[in-house]
Amino acid sequence: MLDDRVRAVLRRLQDEDRAEREQGLPVMQRSRAVAPTTGMFLYALCAGQPSCEVLEIGGSRGYSTVWLGAAVRLLGGHVISLEADPAKLERSVTNIADAGLADWVDVVPGDAHATIPTLSGPFDVVFLDAEKEDYETLFGLAREKLEPGAVVVADNVLSHRDALGAYSEARQADPTLVSVTIPLDRGLELTSVLTGSLK
């Protein structure tokens, strides 16, 4: 369940994101938070899995991280959130602590390309919300940490179709995966790792 501390942080971050968009701040200066319904989707995906291990690639100021942390807290899981921007990472750590989720979330600094190979895994859920040109490489790195049954959720595949259309097509063409584009908010590519080929 979402307690009062979690709800308060989520509301504050939603207000922050909305204000920054209305002010027309450059993309790199904004929090770049997922839409609230995408947060709910991530929560629903993870909340029912006992000991759910989550890798978040691109946590920004921690909005989606709070949703994920609140979900895994229910049945004893854990989130590793990767963020390269030091200022956003610092804010993420504070927001996670304010939400009372520090025991369930680790925020790791640095470039995900270098960090992911050092992680032990395996992960049950990966949330990919990084720079669009990096999705393909980051998916490849993350897949090395996944076992059959794991799920990868990639954000922005419809809002940035020009950049990410090839990502979705590659996932859907891979016979060792089953992948579908979900038209929720900015578009999610939901990819499950199979034990064998569907074809």
Q: What are the sequence ranges of the domains in the chain?
A: 4-193
Contacting residues for 187 by C-beta, under 8 A, at least 6 apart: 155, 156, 157, 158, 159, 161, 181
pLDDT of residue 43: 98
How many helices (H) does the chain have, and how many strands (E)?
7, 7
Report the C-alpha gap between 154 and 164 in whole angstroms: 10
Give me the residues of the chain with pLDDT under 70, please: 25, 27-30, 196-199
pLDDT, tens digit (0-9, with 9 covering 90-100), for 56-87: 999 999 999 999 999 999 999 999 999 999 99
CATH of domain 4-193: 3.40.50.150
Q: Which of 77, 11, 37, 66 is nearest to 187 (CA)?
A: 37
pLDDT score recorded for residue 30: 67
Q: Can you name the residues that pair with 123 across neighbouring β-strands?
A: 146
What local confidence, expressed as pLDDT, does residue 21 receive? 76
What pLDDT is recorded for position 163?
96
pLDDT at 120: 93
Give the span between the Cα atoms of 54 and 57, in whole angstroms. 10
pLDDT value at residue 20 = 80
Q: Are 48 and 134 within 8 A, CB to CB?
A: no
